[in-house]
Each structure stands twice: as C-alpha cells, then as structure tokens.
Structure 1
C-alpha cells in the first residue's frame, strides 16, 4: 500500500536537509561570484531589486529600468515579491535577492529528496536528490540573475510531495500561492486540479481547476492591462500575429529545438517521468513555451526550466516507487545510474563549475576601476547605466538603462556610468560609444574614463 511505503522512519529523511544546505551554499556562491564579476544585469536583477525596493518603501512596484515610472505589475504579475521586503529593510542589496533565490531553490531539494528516499530507497533517493539539485533547470536559473519563478519551485515541490502522500488539502494549500508568482502559473494550479480529478477527488479537483482558470483570465484580461501603460498584456505578441489553434500541432514540433527541449526535460529521468501522472503538471509550462515564437522560450538556458525540475524528478520518484508498474531491479538501478551521470555532467559542464574555479575569485583590477568610478556617484542620484553596471547601483540610486535609445526615453539622468567593453544586448559597443559622444557634445561633462569605463556628469 502507498501509505505503508511512505511510513518508513523519518530519521532517514533527515539527510535531505544537509543536502539542501550544501546546495544553498553552491547556489549562493555562484550568484555572488557572478555579481562581483559584473556578470549580473539590469535586465533582470536590477529590475527585480527596484521592485523589491519599492515594496520596502511601501510604494507601488516601479522600475525605471523598464521605463519611466513603469508599474511592473502591468508587465508580469508577481505580487509574491512583496514577501522579500522585510529582508530588504535589513539588507538593502541585490545580494539579498540572490541569496533568497538560493534559499528557495535549495529548500525545494528537501521534498524531492525526502520523497525519493521514501518511495525508492534511501541511497537511490539521495542520488535522485543530488541529480535534482544539479539539474540544468536549477543551475541556469541561478546563473541568470534573479527571477520571481523561484518562488514556484519549492511550492511545487512541497505540493507534489503532498499529492503523492494523498494529502489532498495540504497539496492545494501549498500550490495555491502559485497564483501570486507569475501570470501563467494559475494554469499549473488548474492542472493540479486535473490531477486531483484523476485521483478520484472530483469535487476538490474541480474547484481547483476552475479557480486556476478563472484566476488566469482575471490576471491576464483585467489586472495586468489595468496597470500596463498601453492597457494590454505585452507578451501576447510571443504567439505571433496570425496564430490560430490550427497552427498548434506544427508549433509544438517546429523548429527542432522544441523537440530538443522536451528531450532535455525528460531524458535525465530516462523518460520514466512521463509514466507518472505527476508529469501532467508540466503540461501548461511546456505548452506555452513551445507555442511561443520567442526562441529563448525553447532553449535550456535562462530561468524558464526551473518550475519543471521538481515536477520531473518527483514524477521519476513516483514512477520508480509505483508497485503497479513492474520495473525490474536492474532497470531501476540503470535509471539511478543515469541520474548519477547527470549529476557529474552537472558539475563539469554546467554553471556551478565556476564556483570551484580559482580564477573566478581572483581580484580583477579592471573591475576595481569600475567600482571606484561608481563610488563617485552620490546616494539617491539618478544614474543611466549599462546593463552590467545597473545592478551595482540599484540599491542606492535610481537607475535607468543606458544607452537610452534602447528604451526610447530622453536622457535626463544626473550621471551616466557606462562600460564600453560590454557587448550584446541591449546595444553594441559602437552604439554605446556613439551615444556617449553625443552626450559629451551636449551638457554632460567627462568625470573620468579608465579601463573602458566612462563616468559622465550632467552640467547645469
């Protein structure tokens, strides 16, 4: 019986907490290393710090990086970020957000490992927990700034643990805050309702499914447009101008990167995760990503895979622990070996390997120059900064994105702090240098230029 399988001594599961502490340290070190190396960005760490800073000041969440007075609840719906405000009162720094992210992701290791140890075996469950903590979806999330979806990861993990335990009400309580994390996640909450219906909990499941769908529609059609300056949900364009339901089958398989995404999600579990009904919870996230015309949504980079990881690894544990699905012991061991290999690959080929690289922690004279120039900017000033310098300043100044041509706003900042070596989004080094020259021809005076960093100050 399922209850019997879950009733093993809880002392075994205490191993999950030390594992979570280890991953918190790894995630935190990676995030801090990136930030100290100017490898975090205004889009998105700077934006999220401006949001949390607004909440901490009891203001509407505004981001000047996103646009003049831009209310961010009209961009994405993430009121759960208000819970970070108390931390920010005591530690007003972007590192606060990075460590909060590390903690949220690390805590999710506990229910995944605990469930795997109970359903499979203590040793094999521990391997699954390590593989989960090193999964590409979590590592790429940690490696790319901070994002609100990290709140969804532990919520999903604890909710699914309760689903597997058949503690239906507790599962719903854990999953309900997903509605406050991001506008697409009410559909995942609705999918959880579908899972409950499949398990015979028709009344509860029906109410959850309806609540999820209604919340999704209210957020997308009413709340976000009401706070958006254009009165719309800005990301509908990711579907393309001429999208119809008849395009759906083709969109799901073309281009080939979408099939690679599916393989990347399920291959670390030897595709056994698909045999668990838990994997149904991944459908909403996978569906919107594969229907989108934005290539970033098909990739295994950025933060888009985070919410899928607890679903997939808990689905694997559910499959391996399902006595109704006859799996020879040899197959079970092969699957765990695959997880172990995935873990090794996660150490050697993924972002966490940077933590063990001594060069990452060596002082960089060029970065020291950049920090020295930024120290000349007074607190509470208005600064236009390039993408990599913005999160270095958002904790004590009002930061706009530079070059301003990327945000179609007039340059009105008191200070301009630019890294002319920065390449890629949102502007090339040539475009950055061009706008700096234009500013110097107008009313901005050069304060200092060194090692590719330029500091300008607006003259009266």
Structure 2
C-alpha cells in the first residue's frame, strides 16, 4: 500500500475535528487589482499618446511651451544648462520655474531627440498615476470602485487639458502625488513622505502642497515626521522663490510676482487694499465653476476626506492671481488637483463605509460618471473622436514641405506653432519676440494661419516679414498655402 493511501486527508486527520476552511474563490482575472490598474494605465497611455502626438503632427503644438521645454531638456541631454532661446538669448529655464527634476528626461532625449520624446514621456507619467489610485480603491471597495476611480481619474478634464496643451513640468508631479497620497491614505507615512519630497524639484509652488501633506501626516500619523515634512515644504518654496529663482533669472527677480500680487488687468483695480484682494480671490464666478467641475466628477465624495485640503495651495495662488488664465479649466493648471480630489475620494470610500453604501453611494458614483462623460467631448480627449484629428490637411503637408527646406543647425525666427517643428534640429526664436537674438536669424518662417497671435498678432508678424524683405536683408524662398519662408542674404 502506498504512503499516500496511508496518509489521512486534511479533513479526516483529526477524527471529529472541524473541517478546514475552503479556499476562497479567486475573482476573474479582469477584476484583479493589478490587472485593472495596469490595464487602465495602458489604455490611457495610448489615448494620451494619440492625442499629443497627433497635435504635434498636425502643427497644433506651440513654441510656448513645448518648444521651450525641448530646448531646455536638449541642453540637459548634452551636459549644458537648460537654456531656451525661445524665452530669450541665454535664458536659463531654472530662473523661470524651479524644475530641475526635468533632467530625468535627458537620457531618453539623448537616445531619441525630438519633441515626441517629451510628449510620450508625459503620457507615460500621467498614465502611471492611475496605478496607485486604482490599486488603493480595489483594496478599499473592490473591483467596481477601482474601475470607477480609474476611468474617472484617467478621463478627467484636468489631465486631458494638460495632455492637450503641449508639455509641462507638472507631469512629473502627477504620479509623485498619486503615490504619496495613496501611501498616506493607507497609513504608510514614511512612503508618503518619500514620494512627496521630490515635489520640491518639480515646481516652486508645490512645496506648499507638500507642507499640507506634512500637516495631514502630523494630524493622523507620526507628528515629528509630518512637521518635518511641512517645514521642508514651506522652507523649500521660500528658498526657491526668494533666492534660487532670482539668482538664476536674468532680471534678478521672480517673474511671476506681478501675476500673483498685481498685474494690469481690471481684476486688480482694488489690489492695493487687503479687502480688495480678498474680494478678488472669490470673484469672478468662473472660479466657482472651476471648483464645481473639480468636485462634481467625484460625486462630491472628495469633500469627506481631509486630503482634499491639499488642493488649497494651488487654488489659492491661482485665484489670488490677476491672470485670468489661472482661473478656469484650460491648460495644465488643474492636473495636480485631479490627483488630490480622486485620492480624497478613495479615502472617503475607505473611511465612511457605513454611510457611503447602497443606493446613496450608487447615486453619487453614477452622477460623477455622468459629469465625466459630459465633460469628455468638451475637453481635449474628445478630439480623439473627431475625424479631423486623423486627417492631414493640405496646409499641414505644405508646412512640412517648407520646413524641409531649412537645414539642420540653422538659426530660425518662427511663428509660435511652427517653432516646435524645428527645435530638435535648429536654434529657434519667435518672430517679433520682445527679447530677440543678438544676431539676425538665417531664416524667417511665418504661418499666416497661426491663430495663437503670440507673441504678437499674425498681422504684426507679417508686417515684420514684409519690412525685412523690402530692406533687402532677406529674400523670399517660398510661399506655400500661407507658409512664408525667407532667407537672409
């Protein structure tokens, strides 16, 4: 008789003893946390890449800001300072915003030089932020909550707006903040601090966000660690804004003080008084719409978590500013806020299990999903469903023919949308730049269809081209479908 026949089964080893617990059934593979997290991240990475790459191919990207960042990262990749000719001769970008962590792009740019390296890298970093939030939501409430969180966050208008407007340094903050808040929400305090600290190297204002994270850790976790993180955040921002940026900046100051504390718009008519500043902070109504659109996709669940306080520093400097571009939903300004509100939502689902369940929870989640669906076609991700996104027009083909006539290594003054088509192989500045290069460029390139009107209206740019041609300093090389190219005599 074999030994297996002599050995009792686990259930009969102890006669009369209780049967062993049955092994819990494994969920279907598509409901597992790792599959959901990385699967959704992969889907959104593909969507983000399609959107940003097609914008570049269709000449919808701009020198401000894709061209600027490419010039800076190109400097890093070749062992130099991050200088951008588009900002001005010898302009060091570390005197504009404090973002030394952009050096992480340098090795990839050295291998694959070109604007697509930045755009694909931004897409990857943004999609990566889906992973910690989805895994956390899965651990808290299971696969349905993970799917709702991942889809709502990945398709959020704040991330779509960042992806749809070129490249920005805050793409580095999105995954860092997501991992930090997911760790804090699961009481892994040291991991939260370590993920949060690099925010100081992404942008100068994020030190204040780090300080609030430190305050939350001190409130709910180890007080000494939290207070140390809060102090590091505040001191880091002060050091960057008051010392480092003015020291590197060509003008010897922080260039954005006037936008935060003053400016020339009508909104600052009462900025001389404290009362006027406070009133301006809460007006015009566009600011309320921004806050509403931040919270509504979460079914307002984010308000039930203390992590939502991390949104206050970013909202604060934006709403105090006199620059209307900061008040609304465009560009990259709300990307980090999307991380905050969705992390707050997951924590609310964790901490309020007894209240947030049943029909009430389903109603909130359904309303949030409806808001996300309604916003989708109104923001850049909606462009993926338009036929024009996948069509190359005659104007774009003509532009590429003209661009091919400019040799590598040339100096070029260009209009805004054509600039990032050349920054990987030429020294590019902008036509009618307020801080032009010291020597006249070899080539002048103007697109009459450029609607950015930056840094001057297209009519002014055309007048500059006409004056240069009449003076005899430049000759017309070609004019194809509104793309004008001049070469210096």
Both proteins in one fold, TM over 0.5: yes
Could you say if the C-alpha distance between residues 244 and 195 of structure 1 is closer, same or farther in structure 2, counting changes exceeding 3 Å?
farther
Distance 1:124 1:223 in 2: 43
Distance 2:68 2:488 in 1: 24
2:486 corresponds to 1:456: yes
For 1:374, which of 386, 403, 419 is the aligned residue?
A: 403
The residue correspondences of 1:44-443 to structure 2 (distance < 5 A) are: 44-238=65-259, 239-240=261-262, 242=271, 245-323=274-352, 326-404=355-433, 406-407=434-435, 412-426=440-454, 427-442=456-471, 443=473
Shift of 1:14: 2.6
Contact 1:115/1:314, CA 8 A, preserved across alignment: no
Distance 1:435 1:15 in 2: 55
Could you say if the C-alpha distance between residues 361 and 78 of structure 1 is closer, same or farther in structure 2, counting changes exceeding 3 Å?
same
Shift of 1:411: 6.5
Could you give the per-residue CA deviations for residues 222-266 of structure 1, whole angstroms, max 9, x where no partner exists?
Answer: 100001111000100012164565445313311111111111111
Distance 1:410 1:435 in 2: 17
Contact 1:320/1:332, CA 8 A, preserved across alignment: no
Contact 1:178/1:185, CA 8 A, preserved across alignment: yes
SS of 1:155's equivalent?
A: helix
Contact 1:401/1:407, CA 8 A, preserved across alignment: no
Shift of 1:198: 1.3
Contact 2:89/2:435, CA 8 A, preserved across alignment: no
Distance 2:272 2:112 in 1: 46
Could you say if the C-alpha distance between residues 251 and 197 of structure 1 is closer, same or farther in structure 2, counting changes exceeding 3 Å?
farther
Distance 2:282 2:443 in 1: 48
Distance 2:316 2:385 in 1: 36
Shift of 1:125: 2.2
Q: List alignment gaps of at least 5 residues for structure 1.
A: 1-7
Is the deviation greater in 358-367 or in 393-402? 358-367
Contact 1:188/1:285, CA 8 A, preserved across alignment: yes
Contact 1:225/1:231, CA 8 A, preserved across alignment: yes
**Aligned pair count?**
451
Is the deviation greater in 84-93 or in 423-432? 423-432
Could you say if the C-alpha distance between residues 175 and 244 of structure 1 is closer, same or farther in structure 2, counting changes exceeding 3 Å?
farther
Contact 1:131/1:342, CA 8 A, preserved across alignment: no
Shift of 1:113: 1.4
Distance 1:91 1:168 in 2: 38
Is the deviation greater in 324-333 or in 48-57? 324-333
Look up the match of 1:34. 55
Distance 1:119 1:324 in 2: 9
Is the deviation greater in 157-166 or in 264-273? 264-273
Could you say if the C-alpha distance between residues 379 and 248 of structure 1 is closer, same or farther in structure 2, counting changes exceeding 3 Å?
same
Superposed CA RMSD in Å reads 1.8
Contact 2:476/2:487, CA 8 A, preserved across alignment: yes
SS of 2:395's equivalent?
A: helix
Shift of 1:428: 2.1
SS of 2:125's equivalent?
A: helix
Contact 1:252/1:290, CA 8 A, preserved across alignment: yes
Distance 2:404 2:413 in 1: 15
Distance 2:381 2:416 in 1: 23
Structure with greater Cα Rg: 2
Shift of 1:197: 1.4
2:35 corresponds to 1:14: yes
Shift of 1:324: 6.7
Q: List alignment gaps of at least 5 residues for structure 2.
A: 1-25, 264-270
Distance 2:375 2:286 in 1: 21
Contact 1:134/1:346, CA 8 A, preserved across alignment: no
Shift of 1:119: 1.6
Could you say if the C-alpha distance between residues 355 and 214 of structure 1 is closer, same or farther in structure 2, counting changes exceeding 3 Å?
same
SS of 1:445's equivalent?
A: strand
Distance 1:344 1:96 in 2: 30
Shift of 1:112: 1.5
Distance 1:244 1:30 in 2: 44
Distance 1:23 1:328 in 2: 28
TM-score where L is the length of structure 1? 0.94
Distance 2:377 2:289 in 1: 21
Look up the match of 1:3. none
